[in-house]
Amino acid sequence: MTQYYTLHLKGHVPSAPDRGRMVSQSQPWKIAARLILGLLFLLLMHRQMQWARTLINDFVDREPEDVDADWKWGDIKPSRTLRWQRCYNNTYDCARLDVPMDWLEPSDDPHERVVLAVIRLRATELDDYKGPIFFNPGGPGGSGVYALIDRGALLQTIAGKNHDIISFDPRGVGASIPRVACWDSEVKSRLWALQDVGVVRPGIIFDAFARATALSQSCEQNMNNSGLLSHISTASHARDLLEILHQTGQDKLKYWGFSYGTILGGVFAAMYPDKVERLVSDGNVDYREWHLHSYVNFLRDTDKVMEAFYDFCYKAGPSSCAFYASVPGAIKERLERLFERIRQHPVIVQAAETGPDMPQLITWSHLKRLISAALYRPIFMFKKVATVLRALENGDGEPFYQLVKSEKSTPPTCSIEAIPPNVPRLEEGNDDAFPAILCADSPPVKDTVEDFAKFVEQLTHISSAAGDVNALFRMACIGRTIRPKWRYTGPFEANTSHPILYVANIADNVTPLISARNNSRGFPGSVILVQNSYGHTTLSATSACTAGYIRAYFQNGTLPPPATTCEPDYHPFEDVYPKIGDELSMVSYELTKLNWGFVPRLTL
């Protein structure tokens, strides 16, 4: 074949070789040509692999686990101006910015101040330096510091290395202090989590409601002295972001927000529209639903993602999907039967050398939460979940246990390091900050247990796959009494200095496409880029097409034409490998592999 290819390059049309003449005078040069072409091909592949390995290793070298353990945020003295210091193996710049806790009535009293942890990855291509891009990883409660160390270099590669990448721990999170903490020790927090009553459903709804009330009371009592809960709504975070922006010497914001980060970006754009230079909003939470409870949209696409599991499993066939059946509907029925069986007969995982050190039960709630978690990341979860489901049918819970264990969902209780909330720390996210911020942004929740039961029924009607699991969003605010002093309630519309780029999957399990459309209507000139994939945010599926549009937007402000749709590089149940030589595809692949902290923790 190499011989024919060589001749074709020279314009010859090869004919079939004469099988009777195996030796000719021209054979030595043909052999030499094959060898030369083979060596050139191997050399090219070797160089591509070296380039890919260098690129990937560069990102891996920046993971939070590898950073200098001796360096501490406490080594930096807080200041009211942004004073950068090299940090984390001399790879980043860090600063601690002292800002008012109450932006409406600023005070110099140290007890009424907040210290924000800010981190920067410097641009490396300075000939056409374009300033900083700020990003928020989501949550609420996600750590910008952790996220930048974990994936900042990947985001920088997409946006352009002529940008700095800056993030910060929002007030109440991680290295920003005071930190939100519902318990006076991490051990108590973990022990409380172990008393979880399971997914909300008839029979336990009274227990779940009382438990939510008790947690809210504990949070408010434990945080009473700090005063932070009165100043933790997104309006305060947006004002913090504006202060950091001005402290960097910039007048206009370039921003990239994911999931809850779209709320922060949207509130900033509505409050300070003349300060927006670029704003990418990916995985869009509906502004009005979040702040006003105007309607319930967030689960509108959830069952579409579940249907994608059935469809792609069927298309993949029995060789790639362990839960395969003859038609997609039969796969759905198979899962329904498994749920009913486990509801009546939970699977026991016996203690074993490769398993748990004591018996574990896999219950209906565990399976419900696994399915809900898989909907966030279909590319990397669907195939694994299909294998787990097949094993559970056979009464084997070991694959479920190994999957939960691999997700690093639950730290051992005795390994938890006790760090007071007034001492900064590096953390991936703060579970206690999630309800604090959510409830500060929302109208007061005054549900009775009967009201809450009706709400759960409404969610289950919208999504049979995960409506009951997602009742936690409303449940988190039950029993909360402290209200924010400053809460933004609209309008969620403005003429920004530059149009916003909204990015959304065709079906997102918690931030549906309709939310992006609703948000976009309030900002003239904004465009929605749709990615034809499933899961939460476009990070759930690799797409060099999407990455290319985002790069062009940050580099020169160009927006995709209206109604543009990008195809993903892969689909669920396919074997996923980086496409060597395509920088955007490779970087998107690495981002997709990461656990962004969107998925609720799986536990046993």
SS (H, E, C) 97-127: EEEECCCCCCCCCHHHEEEEEEEEECCCCCC
Specify the pLDDT at position 574. 95
Find all residues with CB under 8 Å of 154, minimum gap 6, and list them: 59, 587, 590, 591
- Give the closest residue to 523 by CA, choosing from 492, 554, 552: 492
pLDDT for 410 equals 54
Query: CA-to-CA distance for 322 and 251, rounded, in angstroms?
Result: 54
Q: Would you place residue 71 in the very low, low, confident or very high pLDDT band (cuts 50, 70, 90)?
A: confident
Name residues whose C-beta falls within 8 Å of residue 537's C-beta, 6 or more positions apart in sequence.
Answer: 138, 258, 259, 282, 283, 503, 505, 508, 511, 596, 598
Four-point Cα dihedral 238, 244, 247, 250, nearest 10: -70
CB 34, CB 3: distance < 8 Å: yes
pLDDT over 70 at 43, yes or no: no
Of 358 and 40, the structure prediction assigns the larger pLDDT to 358
pLDDT of 489 above 90: yes
Confidence of residue 8 (pLDDT cuts 50, 70, 90): very low
Query: What pLDDT was estimated at residue 19?
Result: 36
pLDDT in tens, 524-545: 999 999 999 999 999 999 999 9
448-479 tens-digit pLDDT = 999 999 999 999 999 999 999 999 889 999 99
pLDDT of residue 49: 43
Question: What is the mean predicted confidence (pLDDT) over 200-213?
Answer: 94
pLDDT at 432 > cutoff 80: yes
DSSP state of 180: P
- Does residue 378 sit in helix, strand or coil? helix
- Segment holding 86, helix H or strand E: strand 85-87
Q: How confident is the model at residue 32 (pLDDT cuts 50, 70, 90)?
A: low
pLDDT band at 567 (very low <50, low <70, confident <90, very high): very high
Rounded distance between C-alpha atoms, residue 507 and residue 530, angstroms: 10
Beta bridge partners of 94: 85, 119
Report percent pLDDT > 90 for the chain. 79
Cβ-based neighbour number of residue 191 at 10 Å:
12
pLDDT attached to residue 58: 46
**pLDDT over 70 percentage in the chain:** 86
Which whole-number Å values give the CA distances from 417 to 190, 222, 414, 420, in the listed order?
Answer: 12, 19, 8, 10
Backbone angles phi, psi at 125, to 5 degrees: -110, 100
**Nearest alpha carbon to residue 222 among 202, 192, 244, 249:** 192
pLDDT tens column, 509-525: 999 999 999 999 999 99
What stretches of 352-504 show up as alpha helix (H) in DSSP?
364-374, 378-393, 398-406, 433-441, 449-462, 472-475
DSSP E strand stretches across 458-564:
501-507, 527-534
Residue 536 is predicted with a pLDDT of: 97
Structure tokens at 86: 């090299």
Instruction: Give the pLDDT score at 66.
Output: 60
Give the angle subtended at the CA of 335 by the CAs of 334 and 338, to the nearest 5°.
90
> Residue 228 is encoded by which pair of tokens?
């932070």
pLDDT for the residue numbered 293: 95
Q: Tokens for 541?
A: 């599926």
Q: How confident is the model at residue 118 (pLDDT cuts 50, 70, 90)?
A: very high
Token pair, residue 18, equals: 């004469």
Model confidence over 413-431: pLDDT tens digits? 555 667 889 999 999 999 9
The answer to whether 254 and 277 have CB atoms below 8 angstroms apart is yes
Mean pLDDT of 189-205: 91
Question: At 207, is the secondary structure helix, strand, or coil?
Answer: helix
pLDDT reported for residue 47: 46
Least confident of 159-168, 192-201, 295-304: 192-201
pLDDT category at 30 given cuts 50, 70, 90 is low
What is the rounded end-to-end Cα distance, in angstroms, of the chain? 56
| Choice among 10-19, 77-86, 110-119, 168-177 with the minimum mean pLDDT | 10-19
User: How much is the mean pLDDT over the chain?
Assistant: 89
pTM for this model (two decimals): 0.89
Span 355-379, average pLDDT: 95
Residue 24 has pLDDT above 70, yes or no: no
pLDDT band with cut points at 50, 70 and 90 for residue 53: very low
Instruction: Categorize the per-residue pLDDT at 597 as very low, low, confident or very high, splitting at 50, 70 and 90.
Output: confident
Q: At residue 10, does pLDDT exceed 50?
A: no
598 — pLDDT class (breaks 50, 70, 90): low
Report the pLDDT value the prediction gives residue 55, as an integer from 0 to 100. Answer: 44
Contact 427, 439 (CB under 8 A): no
Which is higher by pLDDT, 579 or 99? Answer: 99
pLDDT score for 319: 97
Least confident of 72-81, 182-191, 339-348: 182-191
**Could you give the CA distance from residue 167 to residue 230 in angstroms, rounded to a whole number?**
23
